[in-house]
Amino acid sequence: MSRSYRRTWVVPVLILLIAAFARLWQFGEAPPGLQHDELFYAQDGRSIVEDGNWRIFYADNQGREGGYIWFLALAYLMFGATTIMVKIPALWISLLTVAMTYRVAHDLFNYRVGVIASGLAAVAFWPIFIGRLGLRAGTLPLVALVVLWGTWRVCYHHQNKPAWRTAALTGVVLGFAAWDCCLPCRCSTCTVTARSRRIA
């Protein structure tokens, strides 16, 4: 591995470590307590493990798609009925969003833009707050970023090589949005897909 290649990845890795620290410091204590929506999500996630209550759509609490609740079921298997179980999926998604922010900005623009964009996502208030809140809203930026990146790669950067893997990944993520995010998320990802066709 060349020295320049290692240097290129040092800053993004440091940004990801800073993002992890900002989200893990007093994790489970700030913000204090749990919102009622978080409790509904956690209860449904627990019911998947204990009662086999596996659904695509959960009607309680005005209705919610099941995707994020499936992550909570995995968290329940790992951490049990704890505050960590409620909030840890949001942490995973938040850190993936920071990493994907770097990838998208780097590929569409350049290294400097990738560092700046991901650095802001790592330390800005709202990304940190959403990363500590056990709700599905945090999946929207990640889904939109993956769809934007995948569509751009397939349409403009395949360099005469088959891009079916990227297309398949993008399709899976966009399809998952239908079972995880609310209607605004699906509309946002469709808008991103349409607009990305005008890039270049």
pLDDT in tens, 47-57: 999 998 888 88
Rounded alpha-carbon distances, angstroms, from residue 111 to 96, 107, 150, 167: 18, 8, 18, 24
Choose the weakest-confidence range: 66-75, 135-144, 182-191.
182-191
Taking 50 as the threshold, does the pLDDT of residue 199 lie above it? no
Rounded alpha-carbon distances, angstroms, from residue 64 to 5, 14, 74, 200: 44, 36, 18, 37
Q: How many helices (H) and strands (E) does the chain have?
A: 9, 2
Q: What is the overall mean pLDDT for the chain?
A: 83
Tokens standing for residue 86 = 């409620």
Taking 50 as the threshold, does the pLDDT of residue 183 lie above it? no
pLDDT, residue 49, reads: 93
Taking 70 as the threshold, does the pLDDT of residue 161 lie above it? no
Choose the weakest-confidence range: 79-88, 150-159, 191-200.
191-200
pLDDT, residue 159, reads: 61
Compute the C-alpha angle 180/182/184, nearest 5°.
Answer: 130
pLDDT classification of 95: cutoffs 50, 70, 90: very high
pLDDT, residue 147, reads: 87
- How much is the pTM? 0.82
pLDDT, residue 190, reads: 52
Tokens standing for residue 113 = 């833009």
Taking 60 as the threshold, does the pLDDT of residue 188 lie above it? no
Quote the percentage of the chain above a pLDDT of 90. 44
Mean pLDDT over 185-194 rounds to 50
Choose the weakest-confidence range: 49-53, 100-104, 161-165.
161-165
